[in-house]
Structure 1
Amino acid sequence: MSDPIVLICPAMAVPGAFYRPLVAGFAERGWEAEALPRRGFVKGEPVASRTNDWSYADETADVARAVERVRSERPDRPVVLLGHSLGGHLAVANQLTGTPADGVVLVGAGAPWFRLYPHGGAHILLLNALVRASNATRGFVAPPLFGAPGARTIMAEWSRFSMRGTPPWGPGRVSQPTLAVHLQSDHYAVSAATKWFGERFVDPDAMERWVYAQHAAPEGGTTDHLHWVRTPAPVVERVLTWWKDQ
């Protein structure tokens, strides 16, 4: 089987350019990777505002179009979606409602449901309250709040997910091969949240879970929710091994 093309779905409020080290890491191993643009975080394009709004479904459609584009340009190559954090939500939503890729990698992707977090999910409840207040008063989530500048609808959908544990996409489980990477030092997507997310939205027969332990990080590296991207070699290696095992 040909090596796949990896499409990276960025985390909430993170521009695609942040993933340059990850793209380069795949290139060093002979794979092609591309970081997809995160709507509202592309230089020169409109940001979220009272009049500029979008939803999970809109961003999922962006992912589906990217899969379709790559399939059209390179029909001989499999496509793997690598979803980081909220990008993992979009990858799963695409597999269930859009144009499915041939495989999925979830990194630091957990359900934001407050019941899955320590201390009663107090920090999730606080974020939820701030999101709702900003949406009500400003018509979007304004800086410097979490996810800002965040579009009103997608942030409201995230808020409902965090309160009810119900995602803003339809029922079903991903049936394509899926690798879930839990980052040991991840305080945003804790172990319980990533496990619950995988068990709820991925077919057990399709799922493989890997814990990226801090001791496995390269010198100067980390398994932090965001900064693992700076030294991504261990994740890249695990993805290559997983795909070859398919």
Structure 2
Amino acid sequence: MNGDSEYAQEFVDVDGGRLGVQVYPEPEGPAGAPVVVIWPAMGVRARYYRPFAAALRAAGLAVIVADLRGTGASTPAPSRADRHGYAELAGDVGTVLAALKSRLDGRTALLLGHSLGGQATVLHLALHGDTTVDGLALVAVGIPHWRSYPGVRGLALLAYTQGIAATTALLGIWPGWGFGGRQARGVIRDWAYTARSGRFPNLDGTDTEAAVRAVRTPVLAVSVDDDQYTPHPSMDHLCAKLTAAPVTRERYTVAQAGAALDHFTWVRAATALARRIARFASDLPPR
């Protein structure tokens, strides 16, 4: 057990490396509480979500947080030899769920994605049709399509995202200069494509957009006030792709949080949000 953070650090082997997985103690109350598996934003370590994990546990949910490939406790760190992209991130979700099978069997299982982690969870469900997942919560997630941003801001976003993509292609890696942490070229390539086109790229020969339209897992989609990276319209753009899924679309406001919010700081003011997610989990139909 990690004494500082009150979680057990575990690892799951994948593609010659390993994914860090933080398992928090069971919440107080009856055994068999719903389990939430959190997937972080680009470049954000799993340990950043400790306040959110505490709020979720207080709301009666068991919590597990995975580090994205190449971030935090996950190894190896991205290098020029590493070309993984969205297909691998989506596959990692399934790899971790398979490793957690004994903990999830007989319990409500909820994926929760933040930003890039949310895209990875959607793509996992789309590409792999996971029937072990009962629900999906998306918080501060979106398709950062430049046309979803008003006026000059949209044009600036297009230039910014494609500039990062061009730099990454030249260097063979994104060094993390002021955005997103160190990232493999494939992640930046696929992310920049979504910003340019408003679509997910085809992955492993699959029409990903069609696969996303076929997802039927219930979704709670929550955008956050004053989110500088994925404002409300970018979440709407993503939700519009989930045509077969029952989607509950909500906003997390400054008034609800009782604190200032943005793309990252909602994690530290998530008591009300955690309770909403717990209600969503309890209302999910039996698998």
Q: What TM-score, normalized to structure 1?
A: 0.91
Whether contact under 8 Å (1:112, 1:189) holds in the other structure is: yes
Residue in 2 aligned with 1:67?
Answer: 97
1:108 aligns with 2:108: no
- For 2:262, which of 195, 217, 224 is the aligned residue? 224
**What's the offset of the Cα at 1:159?**
0.8
2:78 aligned residue: 48
CA drift at 1:202: 4.7
Give the equivalent residue in structure 2 for 1:122: 155
Alignment of 1:14-93 (within 5 A): 14-43=44-73, 45-93=75-123
- State which of 228, 247, 251 in structure 2 corresponds to 1:211: 251
Distance in 1 separating the partners of 2:101 and 2:243: 23
Higher helix share: 1
What SS does the corresponding residue of 1:234 show, helix, strand or coil? helix
Greater strand proportion:
2
Distance in 2 (CA, whole Å) between partners of 1:21 and 1:197 is 27
Cα distance change, pair 44–112 in 1 and its aligned pair in 2 (3 A): closer
In 1, distance between residues paired with 2:127 and 2:248?
22
Separation in structure 2 between the aligned mates of residue 115 and residue 44 of structure 1, nearest angstrom: 34
CA contact (8 A) 2:118 2:138 kept: yes
Which residue pairs with 1:9 in the alignment? 39
> How far off is 1:42 after superposition?
2.2
1:23-43: CA deviation from partner (whole Å, max 9, x where unpaired)? 111112221011111111124
Counterpart amino acid of residue 239 in structure 2:
G
Rounded Cα–Cα distance in structure 2 between residues aligned with 1:202 and 1:86 = 20
Q: Which runs of 5+ in 1 are unaligned?
A: none
Range with greater deviation from structure 2 (128-137 or 6-15): 128-137
Query: Gaps (5+ residues) in structure 2?
Result: 1-31
Q: Which residue of 1 is the match for residue 223 of structure 2?
A: 182
Alpha-carbon shift at residue 97 of structure 1 (Å): 1.2
Residue among 223, 228, 238 paired with 1:197: 238
Counterpart of 2:18 in structure 1 is none
Cα distance, 1:230 vs structure 2: 1.0
- On the 8 A contact 1:131/1:156 being kept in 2, the answer is no
Q: Equivalents in 1 of 2:256, 2:125: separation in Å?
A: 30
SS across alignment from 1:200: coil
Q: Between the two proteins, what is the percent identity of the paired residues? A: 29
- d(CA) in 2 for partners of 1:234, 1:223: 13
SS at match of 1:80: strand
Say whether the 8 Å CA contact 2:40–2:67 is kept in structure 1: yes
CA distance in 2, matches of 1:35, 1:73: 14
Letter in 1 for 2:149: Y
Coordinate RMSD, CA, aligned: 1.9
Deviations 1:106-164 (A, max 9, x none): 00111111111122512321222322222232101113142231110111011111111
1:187, CA displacement in angstroms?
2.0
Letter in 1 for 2:160: L
State TM-score, norm by structure 2: 0.79
Aligned residues of 2:142 and 2:235 also touching (Cα < 8 A): yes
* Aligned residue pair count: 243
What do residues 33-77 of structure 1 show as CA deviations (whole Å, max 9, x unaligned)?
A: 111111111247332121223111111111111222223333111
User: Which letter does structure 1 place at the counterpart of 2:119?
Assistant: H
Q: Supply the distance in 1 between the matched residues of 2:157 and 2:217 (Cα, whole angstroms).
A: 31
What is the alpha-carbon distance in structure 1 between the residues aligned to residue 185 and residue 48 of structure 2?
Answer: 24
Report the Cα distance in structure 2 between the residues aligned to 1:222 and 1:228, rounded to whole angstroms.
Answer: 8
Tell me, yes or no, if structure 1 residue 150 matches structure 2 residue 157: no
Match for 2:67: what amino acid? Answer: P
Distance 1:224 1:102 in 2: 28
- Aligned to 1:159, which of 192, 204, 226? 192
Is the CA contact (8 Å cut-off) linking 1:103 and 1:177 kept in structure 2? yes
